[in-house]
Structure 1
Amino acid sequence: MLNAFLAGAISMGYLTAALFFLRFWKSTRDRLFFFFSAAFVILMVERIICEVLAIKTEWVPLIYSLRLGAFILILAAIVDKNRRH
């Protein structure tokens, strides 16, 4: 029960961060904010999938791939931002 509550709280935190960056993307149209928003949505989906499928370890290929994809997206956003300026 506690794990479900914590997974929900973490998912809500990821959603809050995604909406925060999406708001800045709407006002600036800077791709960095959009990529960050997308990465946090992916992390939120990963956490929800872990809880719905009752996955106890994060080494399941689906979960690991989603998390890796989100972090690669964040890294790509930073590289993209630095190359444009």
Structure 2
Amino acid sequence: MTAEFLTGLADNLAGAIAFGWVVVGLFFFKFWHHTRDRFFLWFALSFWMEAVNRIFITISSGDESDPLFYGIRVISYGLILLAIWQKNQPLRRRDRDRP
């Protein structure tokens, strides 16, 4: 196997991973659209950020440990933690009265 073949294979796999993150983000966005629960919106944004991050890593042929790419990943995981934290907060009076 040549280095060119392996590079092309790695790029195709990165594209497939990014596509998977976009699809999962759309899945969560669909649930947000139906429920208007921010939990699903934060998850959708997180997965879309991961997809964009993967595309930029592939295009730039950069190292994943680059602080820019790592920082985007930390923010993405932070959105997931924010979603979980908000979901576990007690409901405000205005939200409890809603059907």
TM-score, normalized by length of structure 2? Answer: 0.82
- What does the per-residue CA deviation read over 1:16-64, in whole Å, with 9 as the maximum and x for residues that have no partner? 0000000000000000000000000100011000000001x21101100
CA drift of 1:84 comes to 3.6
Q: How many pairs were matched up?
A: 84
| Larger CA Rg, structure 1 vs 2 | 2
Structure 1 residue corresponding to 2:75, chosen from 69, 72, 81 = 69
Structure 1 unaligned regions, length at least 5 = none
TM-score, normalising length: structure 1: 0.95
2:33 aligned with 1:26, yes or no? yes
1:1-85 matches, within 5 Å, as 1-55=8-62, 57-85=63-91
Unaligned runs of 5+ in 2: 1-7, 92-99
Identity %: 40
Greater share of helix? 1
Residue type at the aligned position of 1:78: I
- Structure 1 Cα separation of the partners of residues 82 and 64 of structure 2: 23
Q: CA RMSD in A?
A: 0.8
Name which structure has the greater RCO, CA cutoff 8 Å, separation 6+.
1
Query: Structure 1: which 4+ aligned runs deviate by more than 3 Å?
Result: none
1:63 is matched by which residue type in structure 2?
F
